[in-house]
């Protein structure tokens, strides 16, 4: 397998591509968290009337709150990490994507 050198016309072209990829990933992660919140809230509201034991209600709300809090915190940490290392992460992705496109030709 031979190495393929990918050259960008300008650094601004690479920066624009990195920014677009980062924006798509950020939007996807935010959408995931919103869907998670909506799903858990809908589930709790839907089954609330069927739970007759108050202790189970407390456990359900507590567990759901932990799931939402921990997943939201993890996604926020991942977004911060992606923002800090975006040139390394996305630059490497773009390099490999461009190499795959060039090999297909």
Residue 7: inside a domain = no
∠ CA 21-23-29, rounded to 5°: 105
Residue 30: inside a domain = yes
pTM above 0.85, yes or no: no
From the list 105, 102, 85, the residue with the least C-alpha distance to 6 is 102
CB proximity list for 91: less than 8 A, separation 6 or greater: 14, 18
Q: What is the dihedral of CA 45, 49, 54, 60, to 10 degrees?
A: -30
Residue 81: inside a domain = yes
Tens digits of residue pLDDT in 44-96: 999 999 999 999 999 999 999 999 999 999 999 999 988 888 888 888 888 88
Tokens of 10: 């300008």
Residue 60: inside a domain = yes
Tens digits of residue pLDDT in 15-55: 898 889 889 999 999 999 999 999 999 999 999 999 999 99
What is residue 3's predicted lDDT score, i.e. its pLDDT? 46
Structurally, the chain folds into a number of domains equal to: 1
């Amino acid at each position: 397998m031979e190495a393929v050198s990918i050259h960008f016309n300008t650094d601004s072209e690479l920066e624009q591509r990195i920014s677009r990829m980062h924006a798509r990933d950020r939007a996807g992660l935010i959408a995931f968290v919103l869907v998670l919140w909506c799903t858990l809230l809908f589930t709790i509201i839907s089954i609330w009337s069927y739970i007759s034991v108050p202790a189970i209600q407390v456990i359900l709300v507590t567990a759901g709150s932990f799931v939402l809090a921990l997943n939201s915190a993890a996604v926020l940490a991942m977004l911060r990490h992606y923002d800090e290392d975006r040139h390394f992460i996305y630059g490497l992705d773009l390099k490999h994507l461009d190499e795959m496109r060039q090999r297909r030709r």
